[in-house]
Each structure stands twice: as C-alpha cells, then as structure tokens.
Amino acid sequence: MFFVYSHNVNRYVIVSCYGFTGRLSMCAGMPFLHVLTYTDKFNKPYITFNTKHGRFASDYFENIGIKIKNVSGISVFDIGENDKRWIDIRKFIDNHSTDIRDFQFVTQFTKTEMDNSDFFRLSPKWHHQYPQPDDFGYEAITYDATRICSKCGIERKQIAPFSIERNPKWGKRNIVQLYWVHDEYFVFGDLKSLLENEYDTLNFKPVIKYKSNKQLDDVYQLDITQAVGLNMPDVLSFKICDLCKRKKYLPHTRGFSLLH
C-alpha cells in the first residue's frame, strides 16, 4: 500500500520512509542496514547457542562492540554494510545461518534524497496485538474468503471491521500495524482528526473489541479508497502463484524503487 503524505503532518507519523522515484537513481554509498535476529533457546536474555568458536553468539557480538536488544526472547541488532565489522559478521552469520536470521533490510536515505522522491512508502515502527480470532479465524470473518487464493493469499477484500482485544497503549505513538496484517494501518484518534482535516481522500473504519462487538473508542483503521495502477518495471522481483497464476511483487528494501 502506498500513501503519500505531506511534511506538514509527518511528525505525527512514526514510520520509516523509503524513497520511490520515477527516475533511475544510483545507490552507491547509500547505507544498507541489516536487522539481525536470533532466538534465545533457554528463554533468558543472551543465552543462545554454542558456536564452533567455543562461545555464545551474544558473547561474540558484544565482544566486538555490538549493542544487542532483547525483545520477547529474541535478540536483535542493526548493522550497516558500511560498518568495518560487517565482513566478519557476515562470515559469522554464514557459519550459523540456521540460527541467525538475516532477512530484514533497511536503506538509510538522506533528507535530500527523501525530499527529491516522488512518493514515500510507510513502514511501521510498531506492531501490536493480533487480529481476532487469533487462530487465523479472523480471515474468514474479516475478508471475503471466496476471493482469496488459498495458496498465495492474493485478493483479500475486506468485508467487516477488524477485531482486537483492547485499545492499544499508545504512549507517544499514534500509528500501528497488527501482527499478521501487513497492508493495513491503524491510528490514534488525534491523528485521525488531523488527517481528516488534511486529506479529503482518506476514510476511517471502526475497530471492534473482540467478543463484545462494540466499537473501540481510541483506534481507527486507515482506509485509503483512492488507488492508482502502477506500471512496475521488469527489474523488480516477483513470483507467479502456481494456483491462481497471478503475479506478486516481492518487497523492495535496497535503495530507491524505480516506478514508471
């Protein structure tokens, strides 16, 4: 989902900005960050797996000055390809690829690069709660199940509001995505009021408290009804579903994405 927003309100949108441009842009020297994760097998911070080097993974990373975050039993840290430690870390990852996950990438754009981009893509900084029922039963309730490809999941047409257990604990945040639902955004009431005043193309859907069937009073689903077709260039990666034969473009995470 692509959402164009102005700099007048971006202080309210706590997201990462990825640049999209209608022109081919060179990305040489642009910092690429890898978000590395590995699981704490014993459910205690920093006790992970034994490596062939005779030390724990966390000990290895901390000994070379990496600051590790522990999030719900998962150890996480960011490392840039322009970091002088990256080559050695890359070798360490390759030797333990079944334990260390390296599949999330972030491009760091300069303010000038973002200002010169034609579009931004929203990327969430916060995931919170699961859609209900959380055994994936929400799919049959929230979407028209007759339209969804059973293999690739394409064409999820929403027919009912999402249900969650409670209002999010917003704190200083005001935009969120649910786990498992990566193409919808949910906003705090203050941000809803601001966006309604700025854009006449935006709508909002209610969010329901699970089991009570009552509308929650502090969270709204962002509903962008205006859409345009994209002429996707051949250089972008995609897969064609064996079942429905439709094309699904893969996430683009390195540098600018070229749109015709």
The alpha-carbon radius of gyration of the chain (Å, integer) is 21
Give yes or no: residues 73 and 151 share one domain: no
- Kindly report, residue by residue over 101-148, the tens digit of the pLDDT: 777 777 777 888 888 877 777 777 888 899 999 888 899 899 998 888
Instruction: Supply φ then ψ for residue 78, to 5 degrees.
Output: -105, 145
Q: Is 237 part of any domain?
A: yes
Predicted confidence band of residue 6 (pLDDT cuts 50, 70, 90): very low
Which of the four pLDDT bands, split at 50, 70 and 90, describes residue 56? low
| Mean per-residue pLDDT, 6-17 | 31
The verdict on 229 and 141 lying in the same domain is yes
Residue numbers of the domain that contains 258: 1-6+125-260
Asked whether residue 95 falls in the same domain as residue 162, the answer is no
pTM score:
0.66
The CATH number that applies at residue 61 is 3.30.70
**pLDDT > 90? residue 32:** no
Query: What pLDDT does 131 receive?
Result: 95
Is residue 131 domain-shared with residue 100, that is, in the same domain?
no
Asked whether residue 211 falls in the same domain as residue 247, the answer is yes
Cα pseudo-dihedral 123, 128, 134, 139, rounded to 10: -30
pLDDT at 9: 33
Q: Please give the residue that has the higher pLDDT: either 56 or 108.
A: 108
- Residue 46 pLDDT: 35
Q: Report DSSP letters for 166-235, one per residue.
A: S----TT--EEB-TT-TT--EE-HHHHHHHHHH-SSEEEEEEEETTTTEEEEEEEEEEE---------TT
**Tally of structural domains, the chain:** 2
142 vs 230: which has the higher pLDDT: 142
User: Does 238 lie in the same domain as 140?
Assistant: yes
